[in-house]
Structure 1
Amino acid sequence: MKIVLLAIAVFLFSGCSVTYPSVTDYRIDPQVELPVKQNRCKKHSIKVSPIFSNVSLSSTAMRYSVGRYKEYSFTQSAWSDSPSRMIANKLVNVLDDSALFDGVYGYKSSKSGDLVLEMSINEFIQSFNEAGDRSDAKIDISFNLIEKKSGKLIASKNFFKVMKTKTADAEGGVEALNILLGEVLEDTVVWLSGSER
Structure 2
Amino acid sequence: MTLFLSRRAKARLGALALAALALTGCSSAPPPQTFDLTAPSRPGRSAGFAGNLIVAEPIAVATLDGQNVVVKPTTGIVTYLPNSQWADRLPKLVQSKIIEAYENSNRLRSVGRPGDRLTVDYQLLSELRAFEIDAATGTASVELTAKVVNDKTGKIVAARVFSARRPVAAVDGPNATRALDAALGEVLADLVAWRGGAA
TM-score (normalizing by structure 1): 0.81
State the shift of 1:112 in Å. 4.9
Whichever residue aligns with residue 164 of structure 1, its letter is P
Q: Is residue 183 of structure 1 aligned with residue 176 of structure 2?
A: no
Hey, what's the Cα distance between the residues in 1 that align with 2:114 and 2:72?
A: 30
What does residue range 1-197 of structure 1 map to in structure 2 within 5 Å?
16=21, 17-18=24-25, 19-35=28-44, 37-39=45-47, 41-42=49-50, 44-129=51-136, 135-192=138-195, 195-197=197-199
Between 1:96-105 and 1:143-152, the stretch displaced more is 96-105
On the 8 A contact 2:33/2:83 being kept in 1, the answer is yes
Q: For 2:149, give the aligned amino acid.
A: I
Of residues 70-79 and 15-24 in structure 1, the stretch that sits farther from structure 2 once superposed is 15-24
- Higher CA-based Rg: 2
SS in 2 for 1:47: strand
Indicate the RMSD between aligned Cα atoms, in angstroms: 2.2
Report the Cα distance in structure 1 between the residues aligned to 2:48 and 2:87, rounded to whole angstroms: 34
Gaps of 5+ in 2: 1-16
Bigger strand share? 1
Count of matched residue pairs: 178
TM-score, length of structure 2 as denominator length? 0.80
Are the equivalent residues in 2 in contact too, given 1:32–1:186 (CA < 8 A)?
A: no
State the alpha-carbon separation in 2 of the partners of residues 52 and 45 from structure 1.
21
Q: How far apart in 1 are the matches of 2:133 and 2:175?
A: 9
| Cα shift readout 1:54-84 (whole Å, capped 9, x = no counterpart) | 1233221222111101111223111121111
1-structure distance, mates of 2:194, 2:144: 13
Tell me if the contact between 1:119 and 1:142 (Cα under 8 Å) persists in the aligned partners. Answer: yes
Runs of 4+ in 1 over 6 A off after TM superposition: none
Query: What residue ranges of structure 1 are gaps of 5+ in the alignment?
Result: 1-11
